[in-house]
A and B are shown apart, each in its own frame.
Chain A
Amino acid sequence: MYKGVWVLGEERNGVIHPVSYELLAWGRNLADKLGVDLACVILGDHVRNQVQELIFRGADKVYFVNHAKLGVFRVDPYTRIVAALIEKYRPEILLASATTMGRTLMPVLAAKIHTGLTADCTELDVEPSARLLLQTRPAIGGNVMATIKTPEHRPQMATVRPKSKKPLPRDPSRRGEIVEERFGEEYLYSRAKRLSFEPDVTSETPIQDADIVVAGGKGLKDGKNFNLVFELAKALDAVVGASRPTVDQGWIPYSHQVGLSGKSVTPRLYVALGISGSAAHLAGMSSAEVIVAINKDPGANIFKVADFGIVGDLFEIAPALLEQLNQRSEKTSDSNGGTRDE
């Protein structure tokens, strides 16, 4: 019998990555509804001394494998080891984050152990009587949502986007069980090996880490009008986001894309300019704390998630807003100047 909820923790550069804590927040809710333990399984080369933190963040159990050969994610050893642990402990649910590791390891595992997998879920729930995981994600074309079950195969597997949930508050009074698992060379060898790593050199804040995002959509009508978005972003000290059609049109690089096929963001403020709000776009930004939408179509989906919306021509509204923001910052710097004089 398959029992228990597992999340797949992630070590990056020798440190437990925060997506592990986000996954525990997703898993905690499911485990409580099913009345079972929540476990985190984590592989790495420096996890041994860090796993207690996973208990503080919501895990009842931690299964960890610590080995020098597991410091970088490689498909072969990670697949063999996680598959062996699933076989040994038989969890009914396994969740992972949709990082490049999760998006690679989960389909490989699902094929290997013959079970279903649902990518990029925006909502997870359980049907307690049948103990079925209800996996909801934007479907085909991104304008509708689909709820998916894995009726007969176990574990039921799903990925969720990084940043799609806040980690639980750290609770140092939580107690849990920590189990070290060991694997030999027959599990650890890999047909692929890393020769080198070249870190990105960019001074820009990655959009996932931005406090404020100002994003543009098809309503901008032309790539050069993204200037308006960049100016507003500058005035708000924000990072620029974009909807998928604008990226497909080549108006702005892919790194700015927000949504199911781009990045998920959870900023304090998300400003959507000329974005209609497909389900796929909403999946990437609807958990922002505050959402402001400017769109000429009063029926646009984006207004359904907006905390404040203006129906109107963005080419009139955005410049007016920019002027207000710039006037305000001049006043602020004037008063600062005054303070210095005193």
Chain B
Amino acid sequence: MKKLLVLVKQVPATENVKMDEETGTMVRTAMEAVINPLDLYAVEEAVRIKEQNEEDMQISVLSMGPPMAADAVKEAIAMGCDEGFLISGKEFAGSDTWATAYALAKGITALGEFDIVLCGERATDGETGQVGPMVGTFLDLPVLTYVSGIDRISGEEIVVRRAIEGGHEVVQASMPVLVSVVKEINEPRLPTLAGKIRARQANVPVLDDEDIKAEGTKLGLGGSPTRVVKIFYPTITRTGEIVSTESASVEVCVEQLMGFLKSVEIL
């Protein structure tokens, strides 16, 4: 039997996110949240691997976040994953990508050995794309990023396609392996009613620092090498000429634009 693990993150559903001005971290309470849209591709790929291989496969899901992040784990279960876990506790609050990846890697180790660890390219809130490769490194796995297709899984080897500058490369690696996938890999399914019922009934065990045997000094804000020191709104960088169809006709505005394009030698 092969074991797969998918990493997911819960992200705000809207772009109206509040920041804590003191710590420079996100205020995660009291806002609508969903599974990171780009993680759906990793979940879908894991489910497809399970469906399309004759060998038995088991898919576990792991997330880290506040207790409500269990909902993101359940969304993955509804799509076809077998079981899910959540790393949660105040000791993890304020983690940067390094501390997040450290905790996730410890969590994976505590859950057992996996042949393929899958994740999305990046989360739509932080937009760093760093956690996946970092988790792979903490686990000492080969790291395959920008994977746009899995061609073959056989024995101890995996063959994938990576979308890189100028084309696609076909890469063979030994398992266990970490694979981060990009959008073009598949079309994520919608959960079935049966899947939703299964997810609702699923128990998502919460793991704390002791469960994952983590070193306290490497967790949360205190364990994070980076610090947000300032949050600000972007400043005005250009002072251009602005005309309005409130005060002039469309034709006049467009003529002025044409004149401007000539003045800067575009036309």
Q: Are A309 and B226 in contact (CB under 8 A)?
A: no
Given A107-B137, A116-B224, A312-B245 in contact, is the A146-B142 Cβ separation under 8 Å? no
Interface residues of B, dominant DSSP? mixed
A142 CB–B CB distance under 8 Å = yes
Out of B136, B255, B260, name the residue touching A308 (CB < 8 Å).
B260
Q: Are A324 and B258 in contact (CB under 8 A)?
A: yes
Apart from A111-B102, A120-B127, what are 16 other A-B pairs with CB-CB below 8 Å?
A: A12-B166, A79-B137, A103-B145, A107-B133, A107-B134, A111-B101, A116-B225, A140-B19, A148-B227, A192-B171, A269-B266, A306-B242, A308-B256, A311-B246, A313-B245, A325-B258
Binds A, one of B9-17, B66-74, B106-114: B9-17
Given A117-B130, A324-B258 in contact, is the A298-B17 Cβ separation under 8 Å? no
Q: Are B238 and A195 in contact (CB under 8 A)?
A: no
B237 CB–A CB distance under 8 Å = yes
Given A111-B98, A145-B232 in contact, is the A328-B267 Cβ separation under 8 Å? yes
- Which A residues, 190 to 207, have Cβ-Cβ distances below 8 Å to chain B? 191-200
- Which B residues, 31 to 72, have Cβ-Cβ distances below 8 Å to chain A? 37
Q: Are B165 and A99 in contact (CB under 8 A)?
A: yes
Q: Are B142 and A75 in contact (CB under 8 A)?
A: yes
Task: Give the complex CA separation of A14 and B208 in angstroms.
Answer: 48
Residues in chain B near residue A12, CB distance under 8 A: 165-166
Chain B minimum-CB-distance residue to A106: B130
Residues in chain B near residue A134, CB distance under 8 A: 229
Chain B residues in contact with chain A, CB under 8 A? 12, 15-17, 19, 24, 26, 37, 96-98, 101-102, 122, 124-134, 136-138, 142-146, 159, 162-174, 183-184, 224-234, 236-238, 240-246, 250-251, 253-258, 260-261, 264, 266-267
Q: Are A307 and B130 in contact (CB under 8 A)?
A: no
Q: Are B24 and A146 in contact (CB under 8 A)?
A: yes
- Which A residues, 257 to 291, have Cβ-Cβ distances below 8 Å to chain B? 260-261, 268-269, 278-280, 282, 286, 290-291
A305 CB–B CB distance under 8 Å = yes
Q: Are A147 and B228 in contact (CB under 8 A)?
A: yes
Residues in chain B near residue A282, CB distance under 8 A: 234
* Nearest CB of chain A from residue B147's CB, rounded to whole Å: 11
Chain A minimum-CB-distance residue to B143: A75
Chain A minimum-CB-distance residue to B160: A192
Task: Give the complex CA separation of A72 and B164 in angstroms.
Answer: 12
Binds B, one of A1-9, A22-30, A49-57, A150-158: A150-158
Top 8 A-B pairs, shortest CB-CB distance: A312-B245, A116-B225, A116-B226, A111-B137, A192-B173, A311-B244, A107-B130, A111-B134
Task: Give the complex CA separation of A305 and B12 in angstroms.
Answer: 27
Task: Give the complex CA separation of A114 and B224 in angstroms.
Answer: 10
Chain A minimum-CB-distance residue to B134: A111
Please name 7 pairs of A and B residues whose Cβ atoms are closer than 8 Å in the assembled complex, sorted by A: A103-B133, A107-B137, A117-B226, A191-B173, A194-B170, A303-B242, A328-B267
Given A75-B142, A100-B145, A199-B166 in contact, is the A153-B137 Cβ separation under 8 Å? no
Out of A108, A120, A269, name the residue touching B136 (CB < 8 Å).
A108
Chain A minimum-CB-distance residue to B162: A100
Among A115, A248, A261, residue most surrounded by chain B Cβ atoms (within 10 Å): A261
A81 CB–B CB distance under 8 Å = no
Given A115-B225, A145-B234, A312-B244 in contact, is the A108-B137 Cβ separation under 8 Å? yes
A333 CB–B CB distance under 8 Å = no
Chain B minimum-CB-distance residue to A143: B15
Among B128, B138, B146, residue most surrounded by chain A Cβ atoms (within 10 Å): B128
Given A104-B145, A151-B227 in contact, is the A145-B233 Cβ separation under 8 Å? yes
Q: Are B133 and A146 in contact (CB under 8 A)?
A: no
Q: Are A145 and B255 in contact (CB under 8 A)?
A: no
Residues in chain A near residue B167, CB distance under 8 A: 197-200
Residues in chain B near residue A79, CB distance under 8 A: 137
Residues in chain B near residue A114, CB distance under 8 A: 98, 225
Binds B, one of A58-66, A87-95, A170-178, A315-323: A315-323
Out of A151, A279, A310, name the residue touching B244 (CB < 8 Å).
A310
A118 CB–B CB distance under 8 Å = yes
* Nearest CB of chain A from residue B39's CB, rounded to whole Å: 14
Chain A minimum-CB-distance residue to B137: A111
A179 CB–B CB distance under 8 Å = no
Residues in chain A near residue B232, CB distance under 8 A: 144-145, 147
Task: Give the complex CA separation of A324 and B234 in angstroms.
Answer: 34
Chain A minimum-CB-distance residue to B247: A311
Residues in chain A near residue B227, CB distance under 8 A: 148-151
Q: Are A141 and B238 in contact (CB under 8 A)?
A: no
* Nearest CB of chain A from residue B173's CB, rounded to whole Å: 4
Given A144-B232, A310-B243 in contact, is the A119-B254 Cβ separation under 8 Å? no
* Nearest CB of chain A from residue B140's CB, rounded to whole Å: 9
Residues in chain B near residue A198, CB distance under 8 A: 167-170
Residues in chain A near residue B172, CB distance under 8 A: 192-193, 195
